[in-house]
Structure 1
Amino acid sequence: MIEISVDPSACNGCGLCVKDCPMRVYELRGDVSVPVRPENCMGCLSCHEICPAQALEHRGVYPSKRHYVDLRVCEMLNRVI
């Protein structure tokens, strides 16, 4: 499983990670992004790349295993499987 941490002293609450994450991992709580559904993280690291404050850290992500999958595709697969 991928471990996600957000540095609250670095996060500026811009919400770019919330908007960018295809798996809806993050929510803004107050002025800080919080990974509320870390189990949905697929390791695409789009949130990490878009964060202007570089406040996000992901452990357990291996670039050779990153795949981009839309949340709708995952939901469909969960219904089928």
Structure 2
Amino acid sequence: MDIRVDTDACVGCGLCIKDCPMHVYELQNNVSVPVRPNNCMGCLSCHEICPAQALEHRGIYSAKRHYIDIKVCEMLRKVI
């Protein structure tokens, strides 16, 4: 997984850090950094929540957000 952060665009809000279920990102010098890119499962949740559109995931293309169907979320909560 090749995750890139546009450091000029990133505003350091930390939304991607809070939203990522796999703890891929950390804030360093007020910029989000993908410190654990191998943990990324490709849900693109961070990409969608980023107000600056500063995140790029090479090799993954979003057809739909993975968590859009509430029934799927409910099912996952029962399993997890």
Q: Same fold (TM over 0.5)?
A: yes
Please list every run of 5 or more consecutive structure 2 residues that lacks an aligned counterpart in the other structure: 68-75
- In structure 2, distance between residues paired with 1:50 and 1:42: 16
TM-score normalised by structure 2 residue count:
0.76
1:59-74 counterparts in 2 under 5 A? Answer: 59-63=58-62
Are 1:26 and 2:25 matched, yes or no?
yes
Kept in 2, the 8 Å contact 1:8–1:32? The answer is: yes
Kept in 2, the 8 Å contact 1:43–1:67? The answer is: no
Q: Percent identity?
A: 75
Please list every run of 5 or more consecutive structure 1 residues that lacks an aligned counterpart in the other structure: 74-81
Seen in structure 2, the aligned counterparts of structure 1 residues 62 and 54 have a Cα distance that, compared at 3 Å, is closer
- In structure 2, distance between residues paired with 1:62 and 1:10: 21
Higher alpha-carbon deviation: 54-63 or 11-20: 54-63
Match of 2:44 in 1: 45
- In structure 2, distance between residues paired with 1:56 and 1:62: 13
